[in-house]
Amino acid sequence: MAEQGTDPRRALLVVEPRFAVEHVGVRRVIADYWQRLLTRGYTVDLGVVSAGHLHRVSGPAADETLAAITTRHGEKTARTGVLDLAEALELRIDTAGYDVSMLTNPWLCDQLMPHLRFTHGVVYDLVPNLLAAQALDFGTPNWVAAGFAHSHHRGFQFFLDSVETILCISQSTRSDFLRYYTPDDVASVVVDIPFDVDRYLAEQGETSPDAGAPPAAPDDRTDVTRVLLVNVLDPRKNIAQVSKALAEVSARMPLVIDIVGSNRLPPELSPKQFLKQLASGGATVTWHENAPDDLLTALYQSSDVLLFPSLYEGLGLPILEAQSFGTPCISSSGSSLGEVNLNPALYVDPRDPGDIARVLAAFIAGESRVTRGESLADLTRTFLAANRGFDPR
């Protein structure tokens, strides 16, 4: 905590120089913590590690970064992060003068001087470690480099030695962390879900409703079910079983399928094969590869269901975003997904395309007990309020 005589309302977020562009999920988690600190009246500095030392980022660069990561619409969002914070470093700093000092990524710790101490560190997931330990299998053995697992491990060890409170973004992540690491004080490892429904909706309300309007269903048919897929072109997102299930359902029921997200498939897999299989059942398929947030917002609102049977998630942010608009989600119940998907009737076995197809068809036919609309958004608010381990006062 801050030393006596220092400003008790100062906070430091230690980030990667290019965090604003290199991972959407990380960017949104950091934005949430940043906004919470500002709401509580903190002055927030950004810190970057360079050559084993901690440096403060210049005020104008920090202001520009905050504007970039909290602007969620149009082309500006799609091209966020031209700024490289490594080019905007000021004086060397320590953490002692800050009331809150947060390591926003464990893999930053490879470069940190061992004497620094922090009040908080964020754990997103243990995917690299679980893959390296063969506790997870996404069907692509080279999906993650061993070096990244090593960086994660070194970061977690630093957390145990030098961080007061470890923030895990879901109960599942906390359970994984405690399974593989043994802190002296288990109570110092807490669950904190970095998402706020009301702030998220307020940000979306700033967008133009026409800017990201999704394409209309063929012939404006009212019996067409609109299915949204987010970041499905990724082995972790269960692309093989998703394509089989949707091909099966679309052969029997009219579907419009919208895919949002870039291609994260290994070289031996082609997105064209996936798109072709989806369309084989007769569905209308659109891939929005570089979709701005306006379009994703419009699709959350216009889709009937989000299909997200991922094999593993540290949080599953698209589920929370969809539920904020009252749009239900079909997902697996493993890892964090069973926590954040508040419609148990829509859980599936992610390894079984027949089960995914069955649950989707039952949903379309109105045979499932599903919470949706404002009731689902309110349920999401209640859930999130019960999972806040970080409340800077």
Task: Average the pLDDT over 17-25 and give the result.
Answer: 84
pLDDT of res. 293: 83
Confidence of residue 218 (pLDDT cuts 50, 70, 90): low
Higher pLDDT pick, 216 / 98: 98
Query: Which has the closest alpha carbon to 196: 376, 388, 326, 338?
Result: 388
Alpha-carbon dihedral sign for residues 204, 207, 209, 214: negative
- If you write DSSP's letter for every residue of 257-273 in order, what string do you get? EEEES-----TTS-HHH
Residue 157 falls inside a structural domain: yes
Q: Does one domain contain both 316 and 189?
A: no
pLDDT at 183 over 70: yes
Q: 93-114, pLDDT tens digit by residue? A: 999 999 999 999 998 887 777 7
Higher pLDDT pick, 83 / 136: 136
Contact 120, 163 (CB under 8 A): yes
Q: 240-276, pLDDT tens digit by residue? A: 899 999 999 999 999 999 999 988 887 777 888 888 8
Confidence of residue 162 (pLDDT cuts 50, 70, 90): very high
Q: Does one domain contain both 211 and 194?
A: no
**Within 13 Å and on the Cβ side, how many CA atoms surround 351?**
6
Q: How far is CA 48 from CA 36, 57, 85, 89, 117, in A?
A: 20, 7, 8, 8, 15
Check: pTM over 0.95? Answer yes or no.
Answer: no
In percent, the amount of the chain with pLDDT more than 70 equals 88
Q: Radius of gyration (Cα) for the chain, nearest Å?
A: 21
Q: Does one domain contain both 225 and 154?
A: no
Domain that holds residue 145: 10-202
Residue 4 falls inside a structural domain: no
Helices (H), 121-212: 127-132, 146-162, 171-180, 197-205
Q: Which of 202, 235, 269 is the last residue of a domain?
A: 202
Secondary structure of residue 255 in the 3-state scheme: strand
Say which CATH number the domain at 266 has: 3.40.50.2000
State the average pLDDT for the chain.
Answer: 87
Cα separation, 320 vs 278, in Å, equals 25
Residue 391 falls inside a structural domain: no
pLDDT of res. 151: 86
pLDDT of res. 120: 97
pLDDT of res. 3: 43
pLDDT of res. 206: 53
Cα separation, 250 vs 256, in Å, equals 9
Q: Which of 173, 202, 231 is the last residue of a domain?
A: 202
- How many domains does the chain fold into? 2
Least confident interval from 162-171, 196-205, 308-317: 196-205
